[in-house]
Every structure is written in C-alpha cells, then in structure tokens.
Structure 1
Amino acid sequence: MNTTTARMAFLYPGHAAEDDYPRLATMISPAPEVTVIHTEFNEDAHTVEALTEMGSPQRLSEGARHLENKNPEAVLWTSTSASFVRGLDGIREQIETLENLLHIPASTTAMAFARAVTTINAKRVAIAATYPRDVALLFKAFLEHFDIEVVHMTSHGIITAAEVGTLQREAVLRFATDNNHPDADALLVPDTALHSAAWLEDLEAAAGKPVLTANQVSVWEGLRLCGKLTPQPGLGTLFRINPWD
C-alpha cells in the first residue's frame, strides 16, 4: 500500500459538476492532487450520436495533450455515457488512446462503475439515470457484460449535461430515493454531470443501501490506478472497503 499523495487527472467534457473532483480530493487523506481538463465536443446532448462524437479518440487525444506537462500518475475519461455508448471495444480504444499518449494507467467512469459494483459485492442493482431511455439501456447492457443484474432502471430524459449540473441537494436526494428498488443491492447514479460529492452519506442514508455515483467512482478508480487507494470515511460504502483485505 502506497500512502503518498496521488496525482490524478480527469478529462471532463464541458462544464457541469466538475467541481466534485476537487471537493472529493479535500475529503480524502492524504488529499490527492487533482487536475481537471475540459474536453471539447460538437453538441451537449444525451444522444447516441452526440455522445459517440464526444468520446471519440480524437477528442480524448486533444484533451490528453493538455496533460503532457502535468505529470499525473493516472488519467480517467469522465463521461460515463460517452464511454458506454461506444461499447466494450470502444471503451478499450479510449483507454488505449490515453495510455499510448500519456504512458500512464487510464480508465473510464463506465469501467469504474463495473469495478465498483464488484468491489461492494453487489449482484443486483438499480439505475437512476438522467439520460433518455435509449442511452440508459446501453448502460444496462454494459453492466450485463459483467454479470451485473439490473433489476430496475429509470430514465429521466434530461438532454443536456448543463441542466443536470444545476440540480441541488434535495433534488438529487429525491431523484435517488424515487428510483431506488427493494430488490437492488446497490443504487447506481451514472451521470458525471450530477453533483454528489457533498451528499454521498446522505444518499446512502436515504436509499438504505450503497449508492454509487459517477464522480465518486471516478475518484475511487483514479486512486486505485495510482496504487494509493485506502479506506476513507464520509464517502460512502465504496470508500470504506479496504482494498488490501
């Protein structure tokens, strides 16, 4: 176990809830160094076409070039939907693109969800998705590749990330509890445009079970890639698990 300061970079499309990353860093001991790079895209829309362009190797490469003098130990592409819409082969291409350019471990928020669900030993999950149904169904299909059973899924059809980023605490808590399901071992909230860092424990208390949010699992995955993941209080069930047990 390495307890020195982690240096993580996050490629984040546009502007919505990117302030979750430095906020999460302040809640971790020792606090990691966090660099957020805003990537470009043609359209802010939760459509398969727009998300596929947003997560293209070209867009990731453009963002990664801004990290060449930042010296991160790990990098994540932090649009869940602009990862899983490309399928497993597309996700592998995204990871390879970043690793080949930066020569450090890379991952995506979608892959972080799959690993996090396994880590908390959840077999059956509910999904509270802000996306339209066709996009949410692709996330369900992605999870099923990892033998994760989706027992309940809701899609709220919010088109833009900018709109999602305006939701405040009470709306986020209500969104989670309204989309929970008694048969689910965990509740997944997959949009990195949705703020959650300040309310992780509140979300779990309201749901009565582990809740995994996109920005939470992204930071967890970054620490894991750095080899500097240690149990942390106040960040939900996922962060309380000792990865070295």
Structure 2
Amino acid sequence: MTTIGFIYPDHAAEDDYPLAEQLLGGTAVDEGDIRLAVEHIYGTDKHAVAELLDLGSEARLADGAALLAKHEPAAVIWACTSGSFVYGWEGARDQADRLAAVAGVPASSTSFAFVHAARALGVKRVAVAASYPDDIARLFVDFLGAGGIEVVSMASADIVTAAEVGAMSPEAVVELAVGHDHPGAEAVLVPDTAMRTLGEINAVEAALGKPVLTANQVTVWEGLRLTGQHRLVRSLGALFRHLPGGSA
C-alpha cells in the first residue's frame, strides 16, 4: 500500500479526499492500493496576504508533517493553493523543499500541482475561475506565469473566507467554472482546496468541452505523481484519463 499525506488547512472541503480515495480504487497503471491520509493545521481562514503567509509558514507545515508521520506517507502535499502561491514561485519552492526536509519524503503543494497537471495535459493557455478576492487571485495568475502557463482571462468571486467557499453548492461550483471560460483557453483552472469540486468535474468538462483542473483534483494527482502511482479514473476529469507520456 502507498500512503500519500496531505496537510489540509482548517476544515472546509476535506471530504473530497476520502471520495478521491474511493474513486482511486479503479484501474491501476501501477498496481497497489492507495491511501490518502489527511491531517489538519489551523490558522485564520481569511484569504489575505498576511494571514496566508502565516498559514503556510515553516512552523505550521512542520506541525502538519509531524501529525502525518504516524501514517508513514511516501510523499506529503501542502493541500492549499493560496497558502503556497502567496510566497511566489521561488518562495513556494523553498516552502516545499523545507517541508520535504522535515517530512523526510518528497513534498509539493497545490500551486505546483496546477502547473504540473497543466503541463501533463499539454495545456499552455488557461482561464482562471477563482473564488478569492481579486488581489489574491492575481497572485495565482503571477505564479502560473512563472511556471510558463499563460492566463488569458481571470475572474474572482471575491469570497473572503475558506468557510464561505466550503459552503458553496454544487450548482454554484459548476456556475463559477463554466461561467468564466474563455474561447482562447485550453483549460479552466479552479483554485482553492476549500471548494468541493470532485463530484462536479465531469459536469463542468461536459459543459465546457475542455479540461477543468480543480484544486483538490490536482492535489491528489500530484501525490500520485510524486509516488510514481497512476490511476485511470473516468469520474475525475481529463487529468485522470490521461496516461503519463500517452493519451487519454
């Protein structure tokens, strides 16, 4: 069995992870059971720069790694988009490196997961449908740009707290993603691990006619990537129907 550890901030949409674990029981490219272990760290859930810098601090992530240690994970992911991209590309790289050092296993974050997932699909031009306030959403755009991903349009829903995002209805999630597509975008990106999206991905892709990448989706995928595990799961969008080095 391969265990992947996730450090999740506070509580909002963490039930996406047991759902993902259940769905990952499907066809395996690499044999072996997958366990997704989630531990929580706590701070303010406000989408504001100072608060996010504190939430993603070395000390808080070290606490999360310590909580995950009992699960003996093969990799650890900081399951927070804004709490990683707020540091910028180099700062987020340092954040992941320090997490890997304290956890003793490979580590990454949701922000890098978005870039790696887009690259895996060959996507270079995207639309961003963000729940964040505008200033925070623009930092995500900057991060994607540093990773070689061009943002052709960005919309922000101006939701201040993760708790409010976690309370969004499935219909609201679909409306956010579908309503902020752009004809020049090859995919739509929906950041924020506080948003429940796994159950809505196929509906969004059917409406868009293109891939959608969401925070909890790419976070789980990143954990699989770091551990060399791959799953073909038709209910989790184009990303999980894509074979590494191959086609869907």
| TM-score using structure 2 length | 0.94
1:126 equivalent in structure 2: 127
Unmatched 5+ stretches in structure 2: 27-32
Cα RMSD for the two superposed structures = 1.1
d(CA) in 2 for partners of 1:216, 1:62: 24
d(CA) in 1 for partners of 2:98, 2:148: 26
1:32 equivalent in structure 2: 34
Identity of aligned residues (%): 47
CA contact (8 A) 1:173 1:206 kept: no
CA contact (8 A) 2:47 2:136 kept: yes
The size of the alignment, in residue pairs, is: 240
Q: Could you tell me how far 1:116 is from its partner in structure 2?
A: 0.6
1:70 equivalent in structure 2: 71
* Pairing 1:1-245 to 2, within 5 Å after superposition: 5-29=1-25, 32-41=34-43, 43-245=44-246
Q: Could you tell me how far 1:92 is from its partner in structure 2?
A: 1.7
Displacement over 6 Å in runs of 4+: none
d(CA) in 1 for partners of 2:21, 2:126: 27
Q: Secondary structure at the match of 2:128?
A: strand
Q: Secondary structure at the match of 1:192?
A: coil
1:68-122 C-alpha deviation (Å, 9 max, x unpaired): 2211111100110010001122212221222111211110000000001111111
Q: Secondary structure at the match of 2:77?
A: strand
d(CA) in 2 for partners of 1:242, 1:232: 11
Q: Secondary structure at the match of 1:181?
A: coil
CA contact (8 A) 1:6 1:223 kept: no
Which shows bigger deviation, 225-234 or 183-192? 225-234
Unmatched 5+ stretches in structure 1: none
2:30 equivalent in structure 1: none
| TM-score using structure 1 length | 0.95
Q: Could you tell me how far 1:146 is from its partner in structure 2?
A: 1.9
